[in-house]
Every structure is written in C-alpha cells, then in structure tokens.
Amino acid sequence: MAETHAEDILPDISDRDQDTVASKPKPPANTSEHDVVIVGGSLAGCATAILLGRAGARVALLEKSPDADAFKRICSHYIQSSAIGTLERLGLLEPMMQAGAVRSRVRLWTRAGWVEPPRVSIVPSGVNLRRSRLDPLIRELAASTAGVELMLGYSAQELLREDGRVCGVQAHGQGGETIQLHARLVVGADGRGSRMAKLAGVTRKTAPHGRIAYGGYYEGPQPQGAPASTLWIMDPDMVAAFPTDSGYTFYAAMPTKDRLPEFRSDPQAALERFVAGVPDAPPIAKSRLLQPVQGKVDMTNVLHRPIADGFALVGDAAGALDPLWGVGCGFALQSAEWLADSVAPALSGAEPLEDGLKRYRRHHARGLGGHTRTILDYATGRKMNMGERMLFSAASYDERTGRVFEAFGSRNIGPVRMLAQGVPLAMLATARRSISRRSRSRSGTTAVAA
C-alpha cells in the first residue's frame, strides 16, 4: 500500500505551535556521548526519558519545538485506565489531578442500548486532561529528572551508524547549527509519520482508515453522566463527549469519509449538528465553542517493527492506530515503560542491549497485538458485525459481562482474555433473547420494543 501522510485541516495549523518563540536554548557542544538519545519530547519520549534517567542512564531528549509548553493540538486525550499504573509510577497522576484532570469512566450508546459503567468495577477510571496542560507537565518532569538533558529546538535529521548498527543522531538546532549525539540506544518517539522509523528502515505496515475526526472544546452545561465520557457508536459513525478540566467538554465526531464535504464547508455547524442528533443528545446547543473546531482527515493506521540494531520505537512511532477508541496516549505511556524496563539492565551493563530490545519487542506484541488487530478491523469505516452487536447487547444488560467488557475497552485485558471470561455465553444468551423476542413478536403475543 502507498505511504500516506497525515493531513491536518481546518484551521491550517500543525500539531505543534510553530509560532511560539521561546528563549533560545543554549547550544550544546556539537558532539556528545549519552547512553540513550530519544527523538521526540511528547508523551512517549518524556516517559521513556524519565524512567531511563531514574534507572541511572544519561539521556538526551530532543524535541524539535523550541517551546517547553508546546502541545499536541489534535487529540481528545482520554487516557485509558490501562495507563493509570504508568502515570502513577511516573509520579504524574497527582500533578495531573492538581492541574484539574478529571477521572472518568466510559458509557456507550449503541443500537442495543446504553452500556453504563458497571456499578462495581474491576479496573481504575481513565483520566482526562487537556494536552495544553498535560504535555508541559510531563516535559517539566522529564527536564527535572537527574540524568535527562532536555534539548528543545533540536530536530533530528539523520541516524548515525557504525558497522550498520544505529549509534547516534544528527540534529539541527534553531540557529542552523548541526550537532551529533552518540549513544548505545536511539529511541524514536517522534509520533505518527516517524522520520526515525523511516531512517532506521524498519518494516512498515499500513491499514486503511475510513473515518474523519472533528472536535472542539465547549464551555456550558455538563453532558449527562459526567464526569464519565460518553461515546455514541452510531455505526458506522461515532460521536463523543469528553468532560475535562476547567469544566470544559471536548465534543468530537468521527463520521465516515463521505461526510467530509459538509465538515469541510462549515466544521462547527457540522460538528454541532452531528452531536445534537444523537439519542439523549448532550447539551452542545447550550454551550459555547472556545476555539476553532479542528479536524483530521487522514488517519491511516501505521505500524512499525519496534526495534532494530541499537534502535527502538515507542508510542505512535511504533504504532499510530485509529483514535476512535482513545488508546494512543495510554499506549504511548505504556510502551515507554515497557522499553525502559526492558533495556535498563543492558544499559547498566548486565546483559547485551540486543536481549533487552528483544524483550521489549515481545512485551509490545503481547501487550498491544490483540488490541491492534481488533482496532484495525473496525477502522475501515465498516458497520459492526453480528458478533460485535451481540457483545454490546450482552454488556448493556448483564452486569458481569459489562465488567469484563469495561476491562477490555479500557485496554486492561486483551480480546482473548475477554472471551475467556465467559463473555461468549452471555452473547449466546443475547442471541436467544433476541430470537425468542422476534418469534413472540411474529406470533403477535408481545409488542417488542426496538
């Protein structure tokens, strides 16, 4: 499949604030030695740097934006509960809560009815904080970690190699200077469309994405169920409401691509029409848009082999998946943790680096493989199949299935474990219920609600 690059549209700004001019960082000597060079100072890069710095490594963390407060602009930032342990370990959850973060479960509407968060949950709540607050927080934590040198305004351009093995990075500074950083391990945390992955020549796979995403922050009455986040799976379209800090709500629509013309011609009107049209609609009509609605049109799923000789990828650089299920931030943090834990022994000299990298690749595949397959399968923009409809239906009325389903949807367990927890039996019961309803309705004995 041809390579496709993500295109941000309306308004025409990039993910990073290009205009912000920060005080110029001090140029370092034009070559230096570290244990690890990390390219990309967002969630995945900062988390990797913090954990490796704490493990005793000397880390250079390169971020092309010169602004310590830069943040990813196109993101609805619902962080799944699977990443709560990582946030706690980083020491970030508490500062996030102080910055106004909202702990939030998910309620879902499908044609089978509402799937409310279970009364007794077996997983922690997810968390929601605007990226304009989250990104500076984690970058500040990285910069203050012993052993981590945050280098703002440096854009990595080339990988350095020795006998074919990656051994460093060449980067350009804001003033046009070129620096070379040598290290035993180079980490690409440079997001979707990773240049580092391309330069490393790792295997790349893409899978189609059939939807567009538009969203904006609104101030106004809270949606029903807040602080829970709500998803309306209109099948194949999707609408979401994410209550977040400061009492704001991020409303998003992810319709299939054939709806692009109406969103392009008036994004705000199209978003508000879409959100207001769902069952039990949230109060978007009584709310005020805070900033222009943002959209993303191309969200082709991109997967890279996460390791090469002297090299690893974390976060979106390793796998940029359909944002419909809100997994990217959590997976960025979790993959960072898996990499740091896997290579720390090698960096302290206890084993060859190759062993640590292989361990990371196995952990990455085990942790995300099942989720990735199910996410790619629905990303095409197709409608739900019979099995999926039965699953949602079973979760909507059976408390136990609802609990297991929440553990899966919040990415705490994979699809195999979910199915092993007796969920197929509940799905079977759903099928029986629906068949007996239908036959009762045909024989005219009962009026059947839709």
Ligand X SMILES: Cc1cc2nc3c(=O)[nH]c(=O)nc-3n(C[C@H](O)[C@H](O)[C@H](O)COP(=O)(O)OP(=O)(O)OC[C@H]3O[C@@H](n4cnc5c(N)ncnc54)[C@H](O)[C@@H]3O)c2cc1C
Beta bridge partners, 34, equal 183
79 or 426: CB nearest ligand X: 79
Is the bond into 11 cis (omega within 30 degrees of 0)?
yes
C-alpha to C-alpha distance for 127 and 123, rounded to whole angstroms = 13
Q: Does 332 bind ligand X (CB under 6 A)?
A: yes
Q: Does 79 bind ligand X (CB under 6 A)?
A: yes
Residues 149-188 that bind ligand X (CB under 6 A): 155-156
282 or 426: CB nearest ligand X: 282
Q: Does 326 bind ligand X (CB under 6 A)?
A: yes
Q: Return the residue of 9, 37, 44, 142 that touches ligand X, per CB under 6 A.
A: 44
Q: Does 213 bind ligand X (CB under 6 A)?
A: yes
Q: Return the residue of 267, 323, 367, 370 that touches ligand X, per CB under 6 A.
A: 323
Q: Does 409 bind ligand X (CB under 6 A)?
A: no
Q: Which residues contact 37 (CB under 8 A, 6 or more apart)?
A: 59, 60, 62, 168, 169, 181, 183, 185, 186, 187
Kindly state the smallest distance separating residue 124's Cβ from ligand X, in Å: 15
Q: Does 60 bind ligand X (CB under 6 A)?
A: no
Kindly state the smallest distance separating residue 51's Cβ from ligand X, in Å: 14
Question: Which residue's beta carbon is nearest to the bound ligand X?
Answer: 328
Kindly state the smallest distance separating residue 196's Cβ from ligand X, in Å: 7
Residues 8-27 that bind ligand X (CB under 6 A): 16
The single-letter code of the amino acid at 344 is: A
Kindly state the smallest distance separating residue 9's Cβ from ligand X, in Å: 11
Q: Does 329 bind ligand X (CB under 6 A)?
A: yes
Token code pair at residue 32: 């230096």
CA 73-159-330 angle, 5° bins? 35
79 or 394: CB nearest ligand X: 79
Which helix (H) or strand (E) segment holds residue 332: the answer is helix 328-347
| Residue 435: φ, ψ to 5° | -65, -45
315 or 414: CB nearest ligand X: 315
C-alpha 371, offset from chain centre:
12
Sign of torsion over alpha carbons 50, 51, 55, 61? negative
Kindly state the smallest distance separating residue 440's Cβ from ligand X, in Å: 41
C-alpha to C-alpha distance for 158 and 161, rounded to whole angstroms = 10
Token code pair at residue 286: 């009584």
Token code pair at residue 25: 């960082």
Q: Does 90 bind ligand X (CB under 6 A)?
A: no
Kindly state the smallest distance separating residue 106's Cβ from ligand X, in Å: 11
Token code pair at residue 222: 């809270």
Residues that contact ligand X, how many (by CB under 6 A): 38
CA 204-205-210 angle, 5° bins? 140
| Residue 224: φ, ψ to 5° | -55, 140
Q: Return the residue of 190, 245, 272, 406 that touches ligand X, per CB under 6 A.
A: 190
Of 84, 100, 79, 145, the closest CA to residue 325 belongs to: 79
Q: Does 145 bind ligand X (CB under 6 A)?
A: no
7 or 351: CB nearest ligand X: 7
C-alpha 121, offset from chain centre:
22
Q: Does 77 bind ligand X (CB under 6 A)?
A: yes
Calculate the alpha carbon distances from 227 to 219, 317, 440 in Å. 14, 31, 40
Q: Return the residue of 37, 49, 52, 63 that touches ligand X, per CB under 6 A.
A: 63
Q: Return the residue of 75, 143, 166, 187 that touches ligand X, per CB under 6 A.
A: 75
Q: Is 341 exposed, middle or buried (0-12, 13-18, 19+ CB in 10 A)?
A: middle
Which range in 57-65, 96-104, 363-371, 434-442 contacts ligand X by CB under 6 A?
Answer: 57-65
Q: Return the residue of 36, 43, 228, 303 that touches ligand X, per CB under 6 A.
A: 43
Strand ranges in 208-259 using DSSP code E only, listed in sequence order: 213-219, 229-233, 238-243, 248-254
Q: Return the residue of 37, 39, 127, 129 that touches ligand X, per CB under 6 A.
A: 39
301 or 401: CB nearest ligand X: 301
| Residue 186: φ, ψ to 5° | -110, 130
Which range in 56-64, 98-106, 384-392, 430-438 contacts ligand X by CB under 6 A?
Answer: 56-64
Residues 294-313 that bind ligand X (CB under 6 A): 296, 299
Question: Are 96 and 104 spatial neighbours (Cβ–Cβ below 8 Å)?
Answer: no
113 or 210: CB nearest ligand X: 210
Kindly state the smallest distance separating residue 299's Cβ from ligand X, in Å: 6
C-alpha to C-alpha distance for 364 and 341, rounded to whole angstroms = 12
Q: Does 42 bind ligand X (CB under 6 A)?
A: yes
- 3-state secondary structure (DSSP) of residue 435: helix
What separation, in Å, do the N-terminal and C-terminal C-alpha atoms of the chain show? 42
Interface with ligand X (CB under 6 A)? 16, 39-45, 62-65, 72, 74-79, 155-156, 189-191, 195, 213, 296, 299, 315-317, 323, 326-330, 332
